[in-house]
Amino acid sequence: MYNNQFWGNLPDGRPADIITLTSSAGAVAEVSNFGGIIRSLTIPMPDGTCRSVVLGYPTLAEYVADTCYHGATIGPYANRIRGGRFTLDGVCYTLEQNEGNNSLHSGSSGWQHDLFDYEADGEALVLKRRSPDGEGGFPGNVDCTIRFFWQDPMTFAISYHAETDKATILSMTNHSYFNLGGDDTILTHTLQIHADGYTPVDAELLPTGEIAPVAGTAFDFCAMRPVAQAYDHNFARTGGSGPAATLVSSDGKLQMDVCTDKPGVQLYTGEFLSAPFAPYGGLCLETQHFPDTPNIPAFPSAVVRPGEAYAFTTTFGFSVL
């Protein structure tokens, strides 16, 4: 079921809406055309209750003021770019430096801060936006389409598609903070990430360029184990047809499988969340290209050229245990 309603006005007066997508099992997603935000995601439980599994604010004003990217669709480039610059085809492009000397999540002109056009496609929500050449320092007129839908009664999907008229870089993701219930924090959730390697970072949380093995380290989530501590790190996926990551609630009653065809999964455990949320109140599993990929040739390329389509899908499949 698809239903849209007015949510509120942005500071410039433009109206933003909330679109509700309900699966045949009664699972419900609330998505806004402002920032492609997933405001709410609720899963029906056997006892007749519905469990909220993402952190969300009640009002649009709180999202406008938010600095933690709650539920937002990040674009054109998620994560960090060193020095706020990159070189492509011999041209140096300068981006906003919004985290020290570096660019994080494309800066203040990132797509998560703007209003998308939208339409229904059956029971799916389709968001559309054109990013003009030079916006935020990124090259190319980029036409982006993001589709939110229930792939099956308990699997929520986000499909991304973009095309450009000039060589550019793209790495989109969704920045929802998940807490599957059963505890106030996610530190006692159990997690498995299908990744043999991770990208070590320096003091600025930027990758050193190495892909290091996880075996024998605190980054080894090859087997299910408690989250236990703070992370803000990218994992290099093993590949294959199975889930990229599996998360289980602290009470062991709900599981989420994350599937994607992107090379990286950024695990962020919400260490710096603040009121009304608690530190470690939710974690992100951001499917994307590696951080700072445009400046590290050894990483899988994030370059998209005219005539090529940037396209991938991430699904969040829920199972009651």
Active site residues per annotation: 175, 286
| Cα–Cα distance measured from residue 127 to residue 34, given in angstroms and rounded to the nearest whole number | 10
Beta strands 168-169 and 195-199, pairing class: unpaired
Tally of CB atoms within 10 A around 201: 17
Residue type, 289: H
The two structure tokens encoding residue 108: 């203040």
Phi, psi of 224 (to 5 degrees): -60, 130
* In the block, residue with structure tokens 């396209």: 311
Residue type, 175: H
- Picking from 246, 227, 214, the residue whose alpha carbon sits closest to that of residue 315 is 246
CB 159 within 8 A of CB 147: yes
Residues present in the chain in total:
321
Coil, helix or strand at residue 293: helix
CB 280 within 8 A of CB 186: yes
Beta strands 73-74 and 50-52, pairing class: unpaired
* In the block, residue with structure tokens 């260490």: 271
| Cα–Cα distance measured from residue 185 to residue 179, given in angstroms and rounded to the nearest whole number | 7
- Picking from 65, 146, 60, 76, the residue whose alpha carbon sits closest to that of residue 110 is 76
| Cα–Cα distance measured from residue 214 to residue 202, given in angstroms and rounded to the nearest whole number | 17
CB 299 within 8 A of CB 234: no
The distance in angstroms from the start CA to the end CA of the chain is 26
